[in-house]
Amino acid sequence: MTGQRRKSQRPGEAHRPDATVAAQRRKDRSNAPPPSHGGASTAEHPTPKSLTLTKVLDKVLDRSQYVKGLVDECATDLSSVNDGLEELVTSDRPPAVEAALVKTSVVEEKVQEASDELSIVNKALAHEIDERHLLQRRVKALTEQGVRDRHASLHDGLTGLPNRALFNDRLEIGLAQAKRHGRALAVIFVDLDGFKSINDTHGHEAGDQVLQTVGRRLAEHTRREDTVCRLGGDEFLCVLAEAGEESAIEAVVQKLLVVLRAPIALADIVDEVQVDASVGIALFPRDGDTAVSLIASADRAMYQAKRARSGHAFASRLGCA
């Protein structure tokens, strides 16, 4: 390698002594931090526990690329030194000088080989990081899809309200707390009056809009700790946690009836529509001490309220328990 060797110079270094060039490169490296893969700042020092494996690999690649840059500079500098030595000693080389040139040529080849190996390692690391980023995106997509699927399994597709399964779960939790702390709890059964005529007159799309509006109004006019559920068709259930006195519950129901009677504007229909509702109320523990018994009592009270056109009825007052 003493005869054929790569010569390389950086722009602006043609007339600078080798020692000056090397010193300037060391100064440049000390003043500038190594580049960061993926745009992460090397000034940040997150704790090892906070780093994912992918982030660790990112940092390893950053350092490996930085080391490769140093090795490339060493190879260039060593080649320049060898070229300079050969120009100074053109003939009648002493054996020691010849041996030194051979050794430096061997070192130069090894440095270049190390640079080539680092390139291979860096490409493998970059590929691994890309694969892990792809895997993370797939896992995130699957996780988000799982969240959507779980939400769909526990909520009504039309109104977005909890469905019967989620309602039962929350009612069971409410009953356990009511029994433990001696609190009151109310189950309200809501059935719309005149909904069939809206479907028959304006079509099912209009009926769907009415159900969505009713569901939204019920949710907006109950507390966060209460649960509103669409049972199916034009029937809704509400559980009022820590319901308080019977008079307070009756006031809540009357407010809901007023809200539900408000006219509903439908898309593509000039005239507004209006629905009324019949509401049955069951109280824990007087009208039942299980989810099934309370819902059944509220259902029977609702039918009595519908027959009497009274708007609402308590199960206990009408002997429905």
Do 93 and 199 have their domain in common? no
Do 129 and 234 have their domain in common? no
Do 75 and 206 have their domain in common? no
> What is Dmax (Cα atoms) for the chain?
125
**Considering its fold, how many domains does the chain have in total?**
2
Instruction: Say whether 234 is catalytic.
Output: yes
- When mean pLDDT is compared across 13-22, 83-92, 227-236, 253-262, the lowest value belongs to 13-22
β-partners of residue 282 are 187
Average pLDDT over residues 294-313: 95
The token duo for 219 is 């949710």
Single residue among 128, 151, 174 that ends a domain in this structure: 151
Angle between helix 246-261 and 204-220 (nearest 10): 140
Q: Which domain holds residue 249?
A: 164-314
How many of the other CB atoms lie within 10 Å of CB of 228? 24
Query: pTM (2 decimals)?
Result: 0.61
Single residue among 124, 151, 178 that ends a domain in this structure: 151
Q: Within a domain: residue 3?
A: no
Do 87 and 205 have their domain in common? no
Q: How many CA atoms lie within 13 A of 58 on its CB side?
A: 16
Q: How many CA atoms lie within 13 A of 113 on its CB side?
A: 6
β-partners of residue 264 are 273
Going by the DSSP 8-state scheme, the letter that residue 34 receives in this structure is P
Most confident region among 2-6, 93-97, 304-308 by mean pLDDT: 304-308
d(CA 155, CA 225): 17
From 46, 61, 69, 41, select the one nearest 129 (Cα to Cα): 61
Do 102 and 212 have their domain in common? no
d(CA 314, CA 320): 8
More confident residue, 96 or 192: 192
From 238, 192, 239, select the one nearest 211 (Cα to Cα): 192
Cβ contact 70:89 at 8 Å: no
Residue 227's H or E segment, with its range, is strand 227-232
For CA atoms 99, 100, 101, 102, give the dihedral sign: positive
Do 89 and 206 have their domain in common? no
Do 41 and 133 have their domain in common? yes
Cβ contact 189:304 at 8 Å: no
- When mean pLDDT is compared across 32-46, 138-152, 243-257, 258-272, the lowest value belongs to 32-46
Residue 319: per-residue pLDDT: 55
d(CA 30, CA 41): 17
Do 170 and 146 have their domain in common? no
From 288, 65, 81, select the one nearest 184 (Cα to Cα): 288
User: Which of the four pLDDT bands, split at 50, 70 and 90, describes residue 86?
Assistant: low
199 three-state secondary structure: helix
- pLDDT tens-place string over residues 244-272: 889 999 999 999 999 999 999 988 776 78
Of 234, 268, 287, 289, the catalytic one is 234
Residue 304 pLDDT > 70: yes
Cβ contact 102:2 at 8 Å: yes
Q: Within a domain: residue 5?
A: no
Do 197 and 147 have their domain in common? no
Amino acid at the residue 160: G
- pLDDT tens-place string over residues 207-253: 999 999 999 999 999 999 999 999 999 999 999 988 888 999 999 99
